[in-house]
Amino acid sequence: MSSESRRKQAKRILAEARTVAVLGAHPDPERAAHYVPAYLHDKGYEILPVNVTKKGQNLWDRPVAARLDEVAGPVDVVDVFRASENLPGHVAEILAMEPLPDVVWFQKGIRHDEVARELEAHGIEVVKDACMMEMHERLGLGTEDEGA
């Protein structure tokens, strides 16, 4: 995908999305799995944290779920903060979500082409190796008034 196509894809997703489930959400503000969703929350997105080891804690005014298929209601984007080698273990829980998410976004440094192909085969759009926060800022979507 060209950089222009990737930019247009990201802009469309970020403008349309309202609810983001964060797989691997973390309470440590020094970790990207905390400050990226915190940024998105501050920009008006509803953040649904998911982390099996943090279940029961509260992040961004929501209880942490253990698995994606435990998240209630529709999710526009699943934002993934898990190492690439762990992604195959999450495919079943993504596909068990009701309804399926529109997009699964692998954060910067994360890619797994086989998992991406499997999700795409089920009609889920996949973004690989890109930071939602960086794209949001780069595209000038930095204020709640601008459609975030």
pLDDT less than 70: residues of the chain? 1, 142-148
Q: Please count the other Cβ atoms lying within 10 Å of the Cβ belonging to residue 39.
A: 18
Global confidence as pTM: 0.92
- pLDDT, residue 146, reads 41
- pLDDT, residue 110, reads 95
Whether 76 is in a domain gets the answer yes
- What is the distance between the alpha carbons of residues 37 and 29, in angstroms, rounded to a whole number? 10
Domain count, the chain: 1
Whether 128 is in a domain gets the answer yes
Q: For 125-135, what is each residue's pLDDT tens digit?
A: 999 999 999 99
**DSSP string across 54-84:** GTT-EETTEEPBSSGGG--S--SEEEE-S-G
Whether 63 is in a domain gets the answer yes
Whether 148 is in a domain gets the answer no
Whether 147 is in a domain gets the answer no
> What's phi and psi for 136, nearest 5 deg?
-60, -45
Domain that holds residue 64: 3-142
Whether 93 is in a domain gets the answer yes
- pLDDT, residue 142, reads 58
- Give kind and range of the element (H or E) at residue 46: strand 46-50
Q: Could you tell me the CATH number of the domain that includes residue 124? A: 3.40.50.720
